[in-house]
Amino acid sequence: MKGLRPKEANAPSASPHVVCPFYVRPMTGGDLEAVAGIEAENPSPWSPGQLAGEHAQESGWQFVAESSASGQVCGFVCGRSLVGEAELLKIAVGRECRRQGIAAELVAHALHYLAAQGVGHCFLELRATNLPALALYERFGFRRAGLRKGYYASPPEDAILMEKIVFSAQL
């Protein structure tokens, strides 16, 4: 698990948007506005109300990646667990923060959390053309488990279902 990095890594970078280093922590109610802003950048975004409802779910789990330099929330992941199975519902990283390993860290953190909870399987679905997300999940050993034709709207698209057996030894 990536933690805080040495202090020199916090030196100002060429881009004001580069947020590394970062760390992953549980989402709080105070993060919801920032999370809604990240979510709004993507197709079929959840509304702030939906995000707040998800955050209140008893079976839900949510983590954010926060810049340790600025405190900015730069990504989040959320899902639900029930009787040994979990579904990863959403993951997103702010556009200006992508390709820095933030989503990978969020997935790794979620999988460690699920393994510690004794979850055996994790499922998810994604738009069939979402190649960055597909590559991310395949990197973590998620396997294609099915296709839901025309599952998504706005724009209409098939959903790929993916599954991973969650064992701490595989993380």
Q: Which is nearer to ligand COA, 83 or 158 (CB)?
A: 158
Token output for 164 = 């991973």
Q: Which is nearer to ligand COA, 101 or 141 (CB)?
A: 101
Within 98-127, the residues that bind ligand COA by CB under 6 A are: 98-104, 126
Question: Segment near ligand COA (CB under 6 A), from 22-30, 78-86, 94-102, 159-167?
Answer: 94-102
How far is the C-alpha of 45 from the C-alpha of 47, rounded, in Å?
A: 6
Residue 3 three-state SS: coil
Q: Does 130 bind ligand COA (CB under 6 A)?
A: yes
Buried b (16+ CB within 10 A) or exposed e, 79-105: bbbeeeebebbbbbbbeebeebebbeb
Residue 58 in contact with residue 80, Cβ under 8 Å? no
Question: Segment near ligand COA (CB under 6 A), from 4-12, 19-27, 95-103, 163-171?
Answer: 95-103
Give me the least distance between CB of 129 and ligand COA, in Å please.
Answer: 10
Q: Does 1 bind ligand COA (CB under 6 A)?
A: no
Give me the least distance between CB of 113 and ligand COA, in Å please.
Answer: 17
- From residue 17 to residue 46, what is the string marking binding to ligand COA with x (rule CB under 6 A)? -------------------------x----
Q: How far, in whole angstroms, is CA 19 from its chain's centroid?
A: 17
Check residue 72 and report its DSSP letter.
-
Give me the least distance between CB of 140 and ligand COA, in Å please.
Answer: 9
Which residue is listed with tokens 């599952």? 151
The distance in angstroms from the start CA to the end CA of the chain is: 10
> Under the rule (CB under 6 A), what is the footprint of ligand COA?
42, 91-93, 98-104, 126, 130-133, 135-136, 139
